[in-house]
Chain A
């Protein structure tokens, strides 16, 4: 069915946009500063950067403010903004082993070299409302800061880099090996090329890394519950900062542009014995910001979509990649709110004609 354009309503549309801005600003509270959103709602900011596929904390905070907290809208704004900016170039391949660690856990081994660091997490909270936060103010924060720093153990420090859990398994021949480097072509760039299925690994990972958290979680959860058969264990989860480096245009030396906060997940999954020796297989997840559900879900889906004979949606690469981009899914769902008057009139006409034929056939049968 074709689309038919309508026109008109400019004044009403302008007023509706203004009314939306009014709704978020009409209250008696102080205006929300972008800095406050960036600092105090940082997980929301991280999520928007990941799904918008643009690392820009200030702009993500601004987008959240403008969108009145709607993460889909905010991610869409970031994705739109990136389309207005020139691409200066590509970074040197980043190595997450150089991560400045903020959190690092493993559910595969209780003792890992360098130790497990729980970091800043709500994992162990009771999810009970903290009514003290209703009285949040500067004095309370100062007092809390003292509590945090006074409780620090003496000589508490962590090494600059920590070995990976998967290295231990690889060393013992228990985990699938890295891909043959000779076959590692230039990474596919889904922002410049259309994906053709089966997508190369680099395209699939880029697509999952910008996927919507809820969408990725839904499909990964379906696999965890049994619609699929990979039995993942979280080998290691890391949150921290990875250096962003380019090649210096004058000297050619590696040149650090900044640090990017990321979450990385590696899941160990069912044995694979394609080369005759059974080994754990690996699923890999990496995304901007601290978004652990997303990284874990991505890692699970990375593994499920490598199934040789997909048996469920989560194992079908095309299904997963086509349905987990939040901007596309939101855009398509939202387009139903736009006028479809002519299309629907056509539907009505066909329905009336179908009912008329059905009535005639009924009369004919009665006769």
Chain B
């Protein structure tokens, strides 16, 4: 899931995982430039005639931080102030790339959560796959 964006794993983190991540991140000095606030993103989609339209709004939480001079941005679905903050801090840290050890620890933490979520998705997919149907035509049809 969304392997091109390492902080996306925070979207599906549970409370324990967020706590673990925040514990790592607060070892750095984090300046909260925009505290978490709820807001809306208008979701735009492309229909099957290739026309873009607005499907409706999605409740999100947004936060911004500065970490070692790097701007970190966190936006996450739902009312999730801790996740938004964690995502902003992780965003800044991983782009900054320092300190190396902490980056490794945060990346590992994100990776563990991603694997847990992927397992859950695979389980859900297996349930869906179990309803795959093969229709046969009735005799004479």
Contact = CB atoms under 8 A, between A and B. Distances in A.
A205 interface: yes
Nearest to B38: A85
Contact of A178 (B11, B49, B76, B126): B49
Interface stretch (B22-30, B54-62, B104-112): B54-62
A255 B75 contact: yes
B119 interface: no
Contacts of B59: 54-56, 59, 85
B129 A156 contact: yes
Contact of A50 (B4, B43, B56, B60): B56
Interface residues of A, number: 82
Interface string B124-141: 111111111111010000
A91 B41 contact: yes
Given A201-B53, A258-B76, A157 B38 contact: no
Q: How large is the interface on B (under 10, 10 to 19, 20 to 34, 35 or more residues)?
A: 35 or more
B16 interface: no
Query: Which of A58, A89, A91, A202 has the most chain B CB atoms inside 10 A of its CB?
Result: A91
A19 interface: no
Given A55-B57, A156-B125, 16 more contacts: A55-B59, A56-B78, A87-B42, A88-B39, A116-B135, A148-B127, A156-B127, A157-B125, A187-B51, A187-B54, A188-B54, A191-B42, A191-B57, A206-B54, A244-B43, A251-B95
Interface of A: 49-50, 53-59, 82, 85-96, 100-103, 110-111, 115-119, 148, 151-153, 156-158, 164, 166, 176, 178-179, 181, 184, 187-191, 201-203, 205-206, 209-210, 242-244, 246, 248-251, 253-260, 262, 266, 282, 284, 286-288
16 contacts: A53-B57, A54-B40, A56-B78, A57-B78, A58-B79, A85-B40, A88-B60, A94-B43, A110-B137, A178-B49, A190-B54, A203-B53, A205-B47, A205-B53, A210-B56, A259-B77
